[in-house]
Amino acid sequence: MKYPWLYEELAQKPGATQDFKEEWQWTRFQIGGKMFAAICKNEGVDELLTVKLEPQEGQFLREQYEDILPGYYMNKEHWNSIRLDGQVPDDLVREMAEKSYRLVLSGLSKKKQKEILGE
């Protein structure tokens, strides 16, 4: 995997929880019980990072980078997968993960958001 910082970066987001879905071979990162990112394995090797983005932004990024694909086993309009051995810049992967986190967080109730953010 080209992004050795990825697991730690996702796990450190406020309120984030992490689990491993054995039957899917996915490490899922959730906030308030909703997934904001998944690292998908193939034969034991981390292969894809899947994140949620606004549809038009996801489409734009897929057109710019061959290593950004429609979401693997997800809604292809809202979810995008990044090849972890590809050529997407670190800063863009970080930005996409942060946007996914914020997008999922904003979908939670105001009460839950405040609880997660400690407000």
Collapse the DSSP code of 87 into the 3-class scheme (helix H, G, I; strand E, B; otherwise coil) and give the result. coil
Is residue 1 scored above 80 in pLDDT? no
Domain boundaries, the chain: 6-117
What is the tens place of the pLDDT at every residue in 28-50?
Answer: 999 999 999 999 999 989 999 99
Instruction: Give burial (CB, 10 Å; 0-12/13-18/19+) of 30.
Output: middle
Comparing 118 with 1, the larger pLDDT belongs to: 118
> How would residue 61 be classed by pLDDT, with cut points 50, 70 and 90?
very high
Residue 77: the pLDDT is 85
**How far is 39 from 51, CA to CA, in rounded Å?**
9
CATH no. of 6-117: 3.90.1150.30
In this structure, are strands 16-21 and 34-42 parallel, antiparallel, or unpaired?
A: unpaired
The percent of residues in the chain predicted with pLDDT above 70, rounded, is 100
With 0-12 / 13-18 / 19 or more C-beta atoms within 10 angstroms meaning exposed / middle / buried, residue 94 is: middle
